[in-house]
Amino acid sequence: MEQLRFIMQYIKRHKWQYIGGIVTLFILDFANLYIPKVTGIITDGLAAHTIDKNGVLKNIGIILAIGFTLAVGRFLWRYFIFGASRSIEHEIRDNMFAHLETLDVEYYNEHKTGDLMTRFTSDLNAVRMAIGPAVIAAFDAIVMTVMVIGQMMVYVNVKLTLVAIIPMVFIAIGELYFGKIMQKYFLERQDAVSELTDFVQESFSGVRVVKAFVRERSQIKAFAEANAKAKTKNLKIAKLQSIVMPLLDVVIGISSLITLLYGGYLALSGEITIGRFVAFNQYITMLVWPMLACGEAINMFSQGGAGIRRIQEVFEEQPEIADRADVEAVDRIKGDIRLNHLTFIHRGHSEPTLKDINLDIKAGTTLAVIGRTGNGKSTLVNLLLHLYNTKPGMIFIDGKDINSIPLKALRENIAYVPQDNFLFSDTLKSNIAFGTDDEEMEEIIRATKIACIHDNIIDFPNGYDTIVGERGVTLSGGQKQRSSIARALKKDAPILILDDALSAVDTDTEEQILKNLKENRCGKTTILIAHRISTIQNADIILVLEDGEARECGNHKELMELGGIYKDMFEKQQLEAAKNLALSAT
């Protein structure tokens, strides 16, 4: 019932198309009934010599007129029903994508891309088949069966009709049982296809790693296993269909044989005429399609039901990160940040990632966060972006609790460069302008010059119109990082966050970028996360995280005088740099 309610909300929006298609189909089925009847009239007339040439031609003309009506009608019902199902498919896909865009980062951490892609394609196609061709098949089968049986009883013989439809009862019961099993098998198949799709997607995305570690054979073997699993699930469906469809043909054949024997007996005994016997056999032939259509409809409804269930799972997911009822309207953020006993535990973890952090960052301050891997640096950034929820009173932006600031307003006022430097398969110009609503070249060039990527771009054959490829694959690591920095700078937000965004650039370029940032972001808050002290030593405030705690805080000079974790990290990095310099000299 839940699945029916879900799809009915879409069907209701296109009810007039469905009504138009069903009415057209009803007219066609009604017209179809007259062909056997006209054939019977011609046969009886010729046998009894009661029809002349003109009468035959007249009845043939009626058959041709019915044929023309059928041709036009078939176009119309396809236009109405198939058009409506395509529109619904389009609407569900739009709505599903829009809903997925609202879901939290945690959802994507727990759900694989391949599985989501399968729901967008294979599952949605099954739903379209269920609300399009299956509706036609089911309605046509029911209406045609009722009409044909009624005509057989009225025009031919009641006893013969009852004998002929006995096998259909067994068909109906068998098809209902078949539908339940089919839905279960289809769900299993979709899960296997999802796993296969995800494996392929990951393999292609990580092809450089595969080749670097010479793991092609192992990947081929793993793919073969996933493919074999999908094949097994598909074969279960195929085997079931291969058993059911021949059995259906056997039952239809038995029905035809009973009709031929008993109907022939009635015709020979004079209870029915030869013409009516011929018409009856045509009616039986007409019933073959509804019986087959009913089986196909149940098959498509079963698959569509499974598809709806998987799509519903997406819609049932609700974001945990959402605007509260008491959010305050915010236009522009200045950039003051205060952390008040900030503590955060990731979902599924028992220990907090961040523990009791207190810090005041005034607008225009450059804050640097440093610490070993896994100590909560990126988590802190995600909390400032409100990608995870925090308890009230722990993070304040411009004196307002972060939970009271609309998500759109908050994120519009923060420019962010993530660790993975994701670029879309588009032009460099579009990638750099991604965070804004315009592609003004003057602003784009200004941002790329600050990020020290402009000269590289103009050296490309197509300049700013260069297509970077999937995930920026055609660029080097440093070029991707600097392009991501330019994208953030184009936004010109009051808060800029660089999450280890200079790790792939050389020290000279890094120094130039930091100098440009200092000159161009005067009065704006900048947060730098890095592992190299050379990147952050000129920051106004340096926060040292250790085991999720703020162990040290101050500027470079103060922390060096403190002689703690920061000084130890600085000396180790200086020693390592000296060793590398000595090795390069030799």
309-324 residue pLDDT tens:
888 888 988 888 888 7
- Taking all residues of the chain, what is their mean pLDDT, rounded to a whole number? 81
490 burial via Cβ count (<10 Å: 0-12, 13-18, 19+): buried
Residue with tokens 């009230």: 392
Cβ(457)–Cβ(397) below 8 Å: no
Number of domains in the chain: 3
Q: Which domain holds residue 250?
A: 2-316
40, pLDDT greater than 70: no
Residues 534 and 561 grouped into a single domain: yes
Q: What is the mean pLDDT of residues 128-153?
A: 78
428-452 residue pLDDT tens:
888 888 877 777 888 888 988 888 8
Say which CATH number the domain at 548 has.
3.40.50.300
Position 394 confidence tier, pLDDT thresholds 50, 70, 90: very high
Report yes or no on 239 lying in a domain. Answer: yes
Structural domain ending residue among the three candidates 286, 316, 346: 316
User: For position 481, what pLDDT does the model report?
Assistant: 87
190-222 residue pLDDT tens:
788 888 888 887 777 777 667 666 777 888 888
Report yes or no on 370 lying in a domain. Answer: yes
Tell me the C-alpha distance between 284 and 257, whole Å: 10
Position 396 confidence tier, pLDDT thresholds 50, 70, 90: very high
As a whole-number percent, the residues of the chain with pLDDT over 70 amount to: 88
User: For position 212, what pLDDT does the model report?
Assistant: 65
224, pLDDT greater than 80: yes
34, pLDDT greater than 70: no
User: For position 480, what pLDDT does the model report?
Assistant: 86
Q: What is the mean pLDDT of residues 534-541?
A: 86
319-350 residue pLDDT tens:
888 887 777 777 788 889 999 999 998 877 77
**Which residue would you say has higher pLDDT here, 271 or 409?**
409
Tell me the C-alpha distance between 34 and 283, whole Å: 10
Residues 399 and 429 grouped into a single domain: no
Report yes or no on 330 lying in a domain. Answer: no
65-79 residue pLDDT tens:
777 777 787 788 888
Residues 349 and 220 grouped into a single domain: no
User: For position 581, what pLDDT does the model report?
Assistant: 66
Residues 22 and 72 grouped into a single domain: yes
Tell me the C-alpha distance between 233 and 203, whole Å: 22
As a whole-number percent, the residues of the chain with pLDDT over 90 amount to: 4
Structural domain ending residue among the three candidates 473, 492, 511: 492
Tell me the C-alpha distance between 53 and 43, whole Å: 13
Residue 1 to residues 5, 8, 259, Cα–Cα distance (Å): 6, 10, 40
Residues 344 and 282 grouped into a single domain: no
Residues 185 and 210 grouped into a single domain: yes
Pairing of strands 525-530, 541-546: unpaired
Report yes or no on 360 lying in a domain. Answer: yes
Residues 247 and 363 grouped into a single domain: no
Residue with tokens 């793993």: 222
**Which residue would you say has higher pLDDT here, 528 or 168?**
528
2-11 residue pLDDT tens:
777 888 888 8
- Helix 133-151 to helix 158-205 angle (10° resolution) is 170
Report yes or no on 328 lying in a domain. Answer: no
Residues 127 and 258 grouped into a single domain: yes
- Amino acid identity of 299? N
Task: Report which DSSP code applies to 414.
Answer: E
Cβ(480)–Cβ(421) below 8 Å: yes
Residues 103 and 171 grouped into a single domain: yes
User: For position 46, what pLDDT does the model report?
Assistant: 67
Residues 582 and 507 grouped into a single domain: yes
Q: What is the mean pLDDT of residues 281-289?
A: 69
Structural domain ending residue among the three candidates 475, 492, 509: 492
Residues 209 and 261 grouped into a single domain: yes
Report yes or no on 521 lying in a domain. Answer: yes
Instruction: Tell me how many degrees the CA angle 500-435-453 measures, rounded to the nearest 5.
Output: 55
Q: What is the mean pLDDT of residues 95-119?
A: 84
Handedness of CA 491, 492, 498, 504 (dihedral sign): positive
Residues 267 and 383 grouped into a single domain: no
156, pLDDT greater than 70: no
**Which residue would you say has higher pLDDT here, 260 or 86?**
86
Report yes or no on 322 lying in a domain. Answer: no
Position 41 confidence tier, pLDDT thresholds 50, 70, 90: low
Task: Report which DSSP code applies to 417.
Answer: E
- Amino acid identity of 425? S
User: For position 338, what pLDDT does the model report?
Assistant: 92
Position 36 confidence tier, pLDDT thresholds 50, 70, 90: low
User: For position 585, what pLDDT does the model report?
Assistant: 60
DSSP per residue over 35-91, as a string? Answer: HHHHHHHHHHHHHHT---HHHHHHHHHHHHHHHHHHHHHHHHHIIIIIHHHHHHHHH
347-387 residue pLDDT tens:
777 788 889 899 999 988 999 998 877 788 888 888 898 88
Report yes or no on 31 lying in a domain. Answer: yes
Nearest to 443 by CA among 510, 495, 492: 492
Say which CATH number the domain at 252 has.
1.20.1560.10
